[in-house]
């Protein structure tokens, strides 16, 4: 067998393994949340609150997250976001274990998680090219990232059902909190990552509408991007019926 070209880069392998473990834990938590909501509220519309709590912070902070990834050390940004995500998962576990959790807790913590992810995802995507010394291996690296997300999206929900049935709801959150440690360990082992940062732009801070507009103009200047993004949006928008499956299973 021939390994994918991106696996020739040791630091990328470490980040990929950490992300695969973390993504699996995050998918497990997300689907565990849907089940948890179905036990807290008999109204199926309650699960839509999670969707709103996830999308609103992304709309608000995604452009800022991209600027932050360009102006600050991406590895340090990921450190902060991964620690934040682990803390949110741990808080969900504590609230569940103490039987004090309510719907508004889930919505609020999901919104905070989405906010952290709005900064984590651009930093993560932009960090990968810094780890690949041969730019011809970049397509392989991004394909492997997609594989990690897809596998995590399959394994995570299956694990959530097994863990809820065998250990209890709270342990899905606790295990997810621990899974973020895989990325933190990978970031420590990777060490310092070279990154070009414009000191003048950084001095102006992260609120830079000009840089945000430049990013938007770049998207609209690329036909392949402007055509695939709406396609992806509509495919994702209409695929959310599966979030109702906990109610289908119970009734």
d(CA 152, CA 94): 24
* Count of other CB atoms within 10 angstroms of residue 83: 15
d(CA 96, CA 102): 9
In this structure, the dihedral spanned by the alpha carbons of residues 46, 154, 117 and 122, taken in order and rounded to 10 degrees, is -140
Can you give the pLDDT at residue 204? 63
Can you give the pLDDT at residue 31? 92
| Residue 198 burial class via C-beta count within 10 angstroms: exposed 0-12, middle 13-18, buried 19 and up | exposed
Can you give the pLDDT at residue 51? 83
Digit-coded pLDDT (tens) for 146-179: 899 899 989 999 999 999 999 999 999 999 999 9
Can you give the pLDDT at residue 176? 95
Tell me which residue of 116, 141, 136 sits closest to 16, measured CA to CA.
141
The SS3 call for residue 1 is coil
pTM: 0.85
Span of 75-79, 185-189, 201-205, 215-219 with lowest mean pLDDT: 201-205
CB 136 within 8 A of CB 5: yes
> Residue 140 is encoded by which pair of tokens?
């392989």
d(CA 5, CA 141): 8
CB 50 within 8 A of CB 33: yes
Can you give the pLDDT at residue 218? 81
Name the residue with higher pLDDT: 53 or 207: 53
Can you give the pLDDT at residue 219? 79
d(CA 6, CA 133): 10
What is the share, in percent, of the chain residues with pLDDT greater than 90?
A: 47
């Amino acid at each position: 067998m021939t390994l994918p070209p991106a696996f020739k880069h040791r630091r990328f392998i470490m980040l990929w393994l950490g992300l695969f473990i973390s993504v699996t834990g995050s998918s497990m938590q997300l689907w565990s949340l849907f089940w948890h909501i179905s036990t807290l509220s008999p109204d199926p519309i309650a699960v839509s609150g999670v969707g709103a709590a996830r999308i609103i912070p992304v709309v608000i902070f995604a452009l800022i997250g991209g600027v932050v990834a360009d102006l600050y050390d991406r590895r340090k940004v990921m450190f902060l976001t991964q620690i934040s995500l682990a803390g949110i998962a741990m808080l969900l576990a504590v609230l569940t274990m103490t039987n004090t959790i309510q719907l508004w807790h889930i919505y609020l913590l999901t919104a905070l998680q989405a906010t952290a992810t709005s900064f984590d995802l651009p930093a993560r995507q932009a960090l990968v090219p810094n780890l690949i010394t041969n730019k011809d291996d970049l397509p392989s690296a991004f394909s492997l990232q997609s594989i990690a997300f897809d596998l995590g999206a399959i394994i995570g929900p299956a694990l959530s059902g097994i863990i809820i049935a065998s250990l209890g709801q709270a342990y899905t959150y606790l295990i997810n909190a621990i899974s973020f440690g895989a990325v933190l360990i990978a970031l420590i082992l990777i060490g310092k990552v070279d990154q070009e940062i414009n000191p003048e732009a950084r001095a102006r801070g992260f609120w830079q509408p000009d840089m945000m507009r430049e990013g938007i103009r770049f998207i609209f200047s690329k036909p392949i991007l402007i055509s695939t993004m709406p396609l992806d949006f509509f495919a994702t928008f209409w695929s959310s019926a599966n979030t109702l499956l906990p109610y289908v299973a119970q009734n």
